[in-house]
Structure 1
Amino acid sequence: MKKIIIIGHKNPDTDSIVSSSIAEHYFKNILKIDAKACCAGELNNETKFVLNQFGVQAPQLLKTLKSDDKIILVDHNEFGQAIDGLQVGHIERIVDHHKLTMQTEQPIFVRIDPIGSTASVLAKMYAEAGKKIPTNMAKLMLAGILSDTLNLNSPTTTAEDKKLVKELNKLAKLNLKEFVADLFAAKSSLQGISLETLITQDYKDFKMGKYKVGIAVWETTNPESVLAEKENLIKLLAEKKAQDKLDRIIFMLVDIIKQNSLLFIVSEEEQELLKKVFARKISGNEMFLPGVVSRKKQIVPQLTEALSK
């Protein structure tokens, strides 16, 4: 029997990658399912730091699926964000923390919790199975949670995430202050990052009413380094909008330290939408949003509501 493939979304972030590796351990050792972690895109600098720090091998890169592959999706459940070639019939299970959007032809196992990361969901699954979490898995879980919740500061953070971090670090024994500083330094690093990568590394497509909307995010402790390239980035965003036949495209520059965002405005279409939704001033092709750091909770629902009317 073929191994079941565990895979996260395209343009994978740290939670997507570590959750694939954690899920492989869980399904192999607890449910006795022959599964293999893979990834649907190149690793970012933060994820490379995490895997190197903990001596974990990167999941195998997979570009497309075969007709007889069986899949466990982690950290996503939208076809627009999934590996090329994914069909409903491929999907055996979903483990996620985003709203459910997929419809399947047959009943499948779905585990989705309203929590800060997929790593959090997997930590709960170990506890529910009555199994001790291995130290190396606890370290990966901490990386996934702290990355996805911006060190428990994102509005996606729950009381459960905070409790899990405390419990997991009893096993991992990390200096969390130092680890988070190193994690965010890697997240912010522009080493080896082209302008094209800046807008595609953490990019997702969304269906909002009848509209297709692309939202790119760059989280950093040094937003000035990205702001210096604003005009070039806006040009690239406009090209991507035309090439991918998007109705709207938005770039969200998140300041991790100050906990705010700048949205880069590509055209009058985005300007009209963002003014309607957030009612804030636009100056120099950018809109400042204080306290906004989460695409999932503070951008996508608001835009979806506006474009679905």
Structure 2
Amino acid sequence: MGTPPEPSPPAMLRRSQRSHRRLPRRAAVGRRSFVATLRALEELADAGAQVSVHVTDLDSGAEVLAGDDHVTMPIAGLGVVPLLIEVAAGFEAGTLDPLEIVDRSSTDLVTTGGMWRNLRAPALPLTDLAVLAATAGDPIAVNALLTYVRDDRVNERLETLGLTQTALLDRFRDERGPDDAPHLAVGTTRELAGLFSALVNSTAVDVAVSAQVSEWLSLNHDLSLVAASTGLDPFSHDHDAHGLLFINKTGRERGVRAEAGVLAGPRAGIAYAMIVCFDDLSITHRLRAHDAFRVLGLELMEYTH
């Protein structure tokens, strides 16, 4: 019998000696190389963007793609995930009543997006607000949840989960002034990928909390970035006919795109996170960032199938 082949090393990004941009350093040959993703990220870095990515194999725990995954960056609505964990923990512990009714007028109105502001119902139970936060990143729903679960409690929960570089800084606002936090939330791709891995492995707080948050996130409607390559129905993908397991959450704000999630197919499962901070000077700049996420999604599909 011959010696079994050594496992492929993780694809990496290296720091250019001429700049602070992250550039490709090494890529394994074949299906697990992520060559196209590395090329797309290099092009973004050359255009002045800051990029961060982390992909971990769920079965082996091996790191298969990494670049600046230790750098704390803005993550926009991805900060909703730790909030949902704390809400689910409150439901499980009995400190929050899932059916407690929350009046929309009790929180500041956010007019830049979301669904609740367009609904006739002026009040909803906490559990429905969690669904709105997970599926649509609804800013009013998120802000309402934050009146029951303060950001300091969310950040204490993150510390207990071992996430020291991820934090929820503020609520959603139409405009951020000089006295406001500059971003809703910040984090690293290494920690975010690890958080999603913990959710599907039932170790984010406990089995019940992990299952509840995973269920909420499985209903997410935003499949326009990494998930665009999965072919899943944005409005009904929690029971895919082809056995594809997928949960994710995206984050968007001016010049920021972020996504983290779990994708599992017949050959493998992965946890991933990617953040791109770019100058949103034109639709071309924005589409270039979006294309990099879709390239990653395609190579993740190739890895898992």
Greater relative contact order: 1 or 2 (C-alpha under 8 angstroms, separation 6 or more)? 2
Q: Answer 1 or 2: which has greater helix percent.
A: 1
> TM-score, normalized by length of structure 1?
0.28
TM-score (norm. length: structure 2): 0.28
